């Protein structure tokens, strides 16, 4: 893989992370709260453990979904990506930088119903630690599945 392609894929991973986190905040979180109800202590002056776990689960699922989509869309690459390529794309630095960009966008928008659960530094750290296994696995698995099924997307 050339350096230009590595930089492009890393930037794309940052963008997918930001998009996944924004999707979690503005679509996934409200949907989960509609289905399962509002967790105890949600939107209080502090982050309750229940609200933090819910936010982390929603963020993990939406960022994982974004890497699944990226894996499916990258099936047309000339060479099938190896797992090491997947780890290059979804690594702690790209996810961490994506979380930092998301946090700055989120604070710039500062919605009326500010959700401190969704910009927790601990959540960012956990997502970064999950990146090489969970998110790289999502990318690699989706890419392998799409190549084997010759998906038409």
Residue pLDDT, tens place only, 103-114: 888 888 776 666
- Name the pLDDT band for 115 (thresholds 50, 70, 90): low
Q: Buried b / exposed e across 82-102, counting CB within 10 Å, b at 16+?
A: eeebbbbbbbbebbbbbbeeb
User: How many residues are recorded in the chain?
Assistant: 153
The total number of structural domains that make up the chain: 1
pTM attached to this predicted model: 0.87
Strand ranges (DSSP E) for the chain?
Answer: none
Other residues' Cβ atoms within 10 Å of the Cβ of residue 106: 19
Nearest-CA neighbor of 142 among 62, 56, 63, 75?
Answer: 75
Per the structure, the complete domain to which residue 49 belongs is given by: 3-149
Instruction: Calculate mean pLDDT across residues 69-93.
Output: 85
């Amino acid at each position: 893989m050339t350096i230009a392609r590595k930089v492009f894929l890393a930037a794309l991973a940052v963008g997918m992370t930001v998009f996944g986190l924004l999707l979690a905040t503005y679509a996934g979180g409200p949907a989960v709260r509609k289905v399962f109800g509002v967790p105890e202590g949600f939107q209080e002056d502090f982050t309750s453990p229940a609200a933090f776990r819910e936010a982390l689960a929603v963020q993990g699922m939406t960022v994982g979904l974004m890497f699944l989509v990226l894996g499916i869309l990258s099936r047309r690459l000339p060479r099938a990506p190896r797992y090491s390529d997947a780890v290059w794309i979804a690594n702690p630095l790209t996810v961490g930088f994506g979380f930092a960009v998301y946090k700055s966008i989120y604070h710039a928008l500062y919605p009326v119903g500010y959700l401190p659960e969704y910009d927790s530094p601990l959540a960012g750290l956990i997502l970064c630690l999950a990146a090489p296994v969970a998110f790289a696995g999502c990318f690699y698995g989706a890419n392998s599945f799409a190549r084997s099924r010759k998906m038409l997307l």
